[in-house]
Chains A and B, each alone.
Chain A
């Protein structure tokens, strides 16, 4: 009986392992540098609501929410701008992360000092911030965000914009 369970688990693991990178690494451009000031200017100039995800390639929980962000961008990208900020990361590893999850639909930036989450009063990663058009902060989700919470906050943003 335990042998059968181990066999089933191994089979499931192998089946699940049949996955691959969504985008070749060399198709992902270098992430432009940013800091708190530059990002605030970007948010203020945005005529669309913004979902800002703060992540790092070394952050295991960030891997969990990456597929959700890709799906959300594919579904709502025409009405909401999706921005990713890699913090305290290695530039190559950050690019590989974007490639692995096919997150090329998001506008990614590189914040080597972690000043973006610091400027928003957040510590650690991941964080997801929801901004109305013009840069007003609507909601801040600390930690890994789930599908329900992500969809709810995007719906709230879109309804604010009418």
Chain B
């Protein structure tokens, strides 16, 4: 793993841990932070493994014959499979209190994602399609100004994290905050994808499915009668 990627991971992990620490005792029940952090860590590792294996298979590398390649995650993690595996593991770990866990991790997960996107600035991977907007950036030595697309994504996710934190203080129905976080995470990626440069491998349909799943989950939690 490269140092720039390690930095990105550290950035995201610090953002997640920082928000969990901030929320402890404010919106998350006192004493739950460690359990939530463990669940987030397990889900992240499972998602990373599944996403890496999917990307290796897609790229033509057999993980059984090249097991050492699994740890080389740069440029090779399928985000759709990663998100799915992370959610499955989270659901398994939190099966005794799924809504409280989802709601407890919602803001932290969005902040972690924001940290990840912002780290693109340090990995030469934060500029997107050309733009003439006043805040567009050009890379050194270039006259072409471009959308700082990863900054857009990071700012939107951070805004979402703050909004959900404030909303959670008003004790909405269980699961509503978690479902909204899923909509924000997938929706931000879906909305910013057209501004990214890629090689035609962007899994937009995963982000569409994630947004739709979040909306369905939100509708279900809002219409469900609260337990007596």
Contacts and interface: CB of A to CB of B under 8 A. Distances in A.
Please determine whether chains A and B interact with each other in the same assembly: yes
B74 A71 contact: no
Given A100-B60, A156-B142, A16 B123 contact: no
B196 interface: yes
Contact of A5 (B66, B73, B92): B92
Main secondary structure of the interface of B (DSSP, over half): loop
Interface string A129-162: 0000000001101011111111110011001000
Contact of B60 (A65, A102, A138): A102
Interface of B: 2, 4, 46, 49-50, 53-54, 56-66, 68-69, 72-76, 85, 88-89, 92-93, 120, 123-128, 130, 139, 141-142, 144, 146, 196-201
Interface residues of A, number: 46
A142 to B, nearest CB: 9
Given A63-B69, A63-B72, A68-B199, 13 more contacts: A4-B92, A12-B50, A12-B54, A15-B57, A16-B57, A60-B66, A61-B74, A71-B199, A143-B4, A148-B125, A152-B125, A152-B197, A156-B144
Contacts of B74: 61, 64-65, 143-144, 146
Given A65-B75, A145-B75, A146-B75, A151 B50 contact: no
Interface of A: 1, 4-5, 8-9, 12-22, 60-61, 63-68, 71-72, 75, 100-102, 138-139, 141, 143-152, 155-156, 159
Most interface-central of B60, B69, B141, B201 (chain A CB within 10 A): B60
B155 to A, nearest CB: 18
Contacts of A17: 57, 62-65
Contacts of B201: 71, 147
Contacts of B63: 13, 16-17
Contacts of B142: 156
Given A19-B60, A101-B60, A144-B75, A60 B89 contact: no
Nearest to A14: B64
Main secondary structure of the interface of A (DSSP, over half): helix
25 contacts: A4-B92, A8-B85, A9-B50, A12-B53, A12-B54, A17-B57, A17-B64, A18-B57, A19-B56, A19-B61, A20-B62, A22-B60, A64-B59, A64-B74, A64-B76, A71-B201, A100-B61, A143-B74, A144-B2, A148-B126, A148-B196, A149-B125, A152-B197, A156-B139, A159-B144
A9 B53 CA distance: 9
Contact of B198 (A8, A139, A151): A151
A119 to B, nearest CB: 21
A86 B77 CA distance: 25
Nearest to A71: B199
A67 B59 contact: yes
Which A-B residue pairs are the 6 nearest by beta carbons?
Answer: A67-B59, A148-B125, A16-B57, A151-B197, A16-B53, A146-B75
Given A146-B125, A149-B123, A72 B89 contact: no
Given A18-B57, A71-B200, A71-B201, A148 B120 contact: yes
A64 B61 CA distance: 9
Contacts of A75: 199-200
